[in-house]
């Protein structure tokens, strides 16, 4: 029997994960994370994971399970490590993933550190991923059985020490079965919709939210020849690969849609062009985080470059704090700031933050 903190977001997945921890005979305490200094300023209802409604749903689930329940105020850490990082990354022309950042810095760093300091053995969450003991005794993280719900990508920032104190009870389940189980257990969240988008952007309008935070930073949208197509109020409203919302007015010569190819944050220049110019066949990653021993030599593997994105066959080579990734399957619309998560089969090896990409010869401008 272990003493576990069950991180309870107020959704069905974390409630069933806590229930399974109790059923397995562990000494479980439910904890809901208060991530906003003013909960009403973050997403409300079923679309987020840190609203007043979510806190109430988590408490009711804990009561139904008969376990102690507490709310931990992580608002200061969340603001510093996740929200401010999100703003700074966009201001620098990069495209961050705040869910990875939250897992790295809040759910499996600040929360786990506090849990261990209080004498708990680990943290159970409702993430869809599987943990196994490897032949060398280390903990391996693998993709979930439910491919559509697999969250190993956003957990690719976890270290071996963190994995050793984590428990993911849902990794071997599919979502319909989890909802059915919640119904059988009498949990009121059984039919609650899944959360979507970024929890701290109240209406889902990232560009509008960033404009409020950063203010207008005028620049231009240009084509690959440098011709100015329109002015804009902030390059942070764009991301590489974006097609919608460009409002260019003048169609391309070939009549085909144009996509954001590059963002230069200092001048505020956003370059657009045809879709085939988005293809990249190599990238460089920085700030690697390894779930296990870092690979040596050239590792034949697959990589995932966005949440719920496709896997790409690749060869990875690590040089200290730099990770070189040669893509055997070219990828489209990959932006600096996103995470490259490395897999060997279903096993997660680690992750790195994409610092720069390299285009295929076929997709380079003018080719």
**Which residues form the catalytic set?**
102, 199
Which residues, in sequence order, are bridge partners of residue 140? 132
Question: What b/e string do you get for 352-362 counting C-beta neighbours within 10 Å, with b at 16 or more?
Answer: bbbbebebbee
Cα–Cα distance between 28 and 261 in angstroms, integer? Answer: 49
Cα–Cα distance between 227 and 83 in angstroms, integer? Answer: 35
Longest dimension (CA), the chain: 68
In 3-state terms the chain splits into helix, strand, coil percentages (rounded to 5) of 30, 30, 40
Q: Which residues are CB-neighbours of 145 under 8 A, at least 6 positions away?
A: 130, 171, 172, 173, 174
User: Of 51, 65, 70, whose CA–CA distance to 10 is shortest?
Assistant: 51
Q: Are 93 and 264 in contact (CB under 8 A)?
A: yes
Interior angle at CA 146, CA 103 and CA 315, nearest 5: 70
Alpha helix (H) residue ranges in 66-205: 75-78, 84-91, 98-102, 111-117, 160-163, 175-184
Q: Which residues are CB-neighbours of 107 under 8 A, at least 6 positions away?
A: 7, 33, 123, 125
Which residues, in sequence order, are bridge partners of residue 347? 142, 344
């Amino acid at each position: 029997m272990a003493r576990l903190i069950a991180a309870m977001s107020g959704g069905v997945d974390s409630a069933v994960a806590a229930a399974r921890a109790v059923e397995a005979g562990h000494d479980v305490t439910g904890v809901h994370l208060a991530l906003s200094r003013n909960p009403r300023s973050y997403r409300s209802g079923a679309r987020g994971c840190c609203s007043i409604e979510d806190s109430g749903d988590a408490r009711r689930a804990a009561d139904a399970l008969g376990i102690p329940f507490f709310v931990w105020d992580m608002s200061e850490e969340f603001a510093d490590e996740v929200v401010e990082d999100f703003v700074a990354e966009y201001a620098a022309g990069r495209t961050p993933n705040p869910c990875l950042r939250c897992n790295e810095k809040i759910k499996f760093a600040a929360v786990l550190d506090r849990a261990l300091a209080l004498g708990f053995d680990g943290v159970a969450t409702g993430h869809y991923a599987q943990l196994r003991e490897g032949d060398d005794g280390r903990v391996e993280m693998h993709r979930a059985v439910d491919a559509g719900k697999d969250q190993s990508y956003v957990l690719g920032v976890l270290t071996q020490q963190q994995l050793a104190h984590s428990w993911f009870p849902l990794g071997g389940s599919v979502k319909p079965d989890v909802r059915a189980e919640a119904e059988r257990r009498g949990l009121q969240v059984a039919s609650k919709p899944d959360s979507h988008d970024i929890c701290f952007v109240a209406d889902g309008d990232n560009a509008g939210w960033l404009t409020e935070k950063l203010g207008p930073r005028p620049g231009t949208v240009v084509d690959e020849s440098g011709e100015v197509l329109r002015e804009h109020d902030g390059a942070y409203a764009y991301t590489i690969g974006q097609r919608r919302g460009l409002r260019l007015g003048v169609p391309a010569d070939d009549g085909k849609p144009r996509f954001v190819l590059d963002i230069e944050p200092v001048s505020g220049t956003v370059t657009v062009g045809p879709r085939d110019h988005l293809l990249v066949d190599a990238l460089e990653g920085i700030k690697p985080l390894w779930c296990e021993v870092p690979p040596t030599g050239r590792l034949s593997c697959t990589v995932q470059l966005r949440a719920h994105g496709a896997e790409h066959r690749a060869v990875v080579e690590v040089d200290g704090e730099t990770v070189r990734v040669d893509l055997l399957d070219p990828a489209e619309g990959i932006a600096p700031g996103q995470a490259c998560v490395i897999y060997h089969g279903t096993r997660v090896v680690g992750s790195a933050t994409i610092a720069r990409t390299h285009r295929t010869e076929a997709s380079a401008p003018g080719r």
